[in-house]
Structures are given as C-alpha cells and as structure tokens.
Amino acid sequence: MGLFAPLNIFSRIDQVDCTMVNLNETLETAINIAWNEIKHLATINREFSDIPEIKCYPQQVSQVFLNLLLNAAQAIDGQGVITVRTWCDGTWVNILISDTGGGIPDKDLSRIFEPFFTTKEVGKGTGLGALYYVWDRQEPWGRDYRPK
C-alpha cells in the first residue's frame, strides 16, 4: 500500500456519510500513519479478533484512533508497548488501546474530554476533547469510553 492510500482515509474528515467499516483495517491504517512517531517510543502489540463491520463515520473514527495512538506513545517514558485489541462480545464490537505509560492522574480524569484541556505544552497535545466530540457523534451505534 502506497503512502497516499492510508492518508486518503483522513482527507475527508468532515464527510457526513456513514458507511460500513472494518475497524481492524481502520486501526491498522491509523497505526501505519502514526508509526513514524511511535516507532521511537513503543512497539505495537496487535490483538485483532475477527469482528463484524460496523456503520460509522470512518474518517472521524480514524482520527480518533490516530489521536489515541499518538497520545499513548507520548504517555510512555523510555521504550514501552502500546496494545491495540479488538473483540466482539456478541452484541458490541470492542476496541482497547492501552499503553505502558504512567496513566492519567486522578485529578485530571474528569477533565480530559474538555475541549481545550491539556497537560502538555501548547501545540504538543492531540486533543482528547476533540476526540470526545467525534466519538460522541457515533452514539446511535453505541460507544463507550473509559479512560484509566
């Protein structure tokens, strides 16, 4: 796959059409795009299960995955591991992105989805508040997020 194929999924981030999407492929594309930054900080442990396609806004969900992966890499001191896991429990398709970083301090947990909240220098964060807005648009098809 050439460089422009993975980038194409991000080129229409504001596209309003919902389509059926294979989230394993969407995650793999986000990993490939983020890899240049991640490779110096972490290895990626992929635990992809056979999951059904879901209906969503693919460009926006791709942006969520990309930002979560970059945040995970930035949370790691030294060299760490980012685990990306997918599974289906019969009703829901589940995605877990975890890292071996220190975690989010308890005092910040209630604020991480605020639009301009950051613990990083100006211009360094990827903005979890923006992720909340995008992910919240997926509600008709179900979504849950539990930062730890």
With respect to residue 54, please indicate whether it lies within any of the assigned structural domains.
yes
Q: What is the pTM of this model?
A: 0.75
63 with 13: CB under 8 angstroms? yes
With respect to residue 82, please indicate whether it lies within any of the assigned structural domains.
yes
With respect to residue 1, please indicate whether it lies within any of the assigned structural domains.
no
Which residue, among 29, 142, 28, has the nearest Cα to 93 in the 3D structure? 142
With respect to residue 72, please indicate whether it lies within any of the assigned structural domains.
yes
Strands 42-47 and 54-56: unpaired
| pLDDT tens by residue, 85-100 | 999 998 889 999 999 9
- Banded pLDDT at 76 (limits 50, 70, 90): very high
With respect to residue 42, please indicate whether it lies within any of the assigned structural domains.
yes
| DSSP structure string for 94-116 | EEEEEESS----HHHHTTTTSTT
Percentage above 70 pLDDT, the chain: 68
Domain that holds residue 39: 13-102
Selection from 45-49, 111-115, 141-145 with the highest mean pLDDT? 45-49
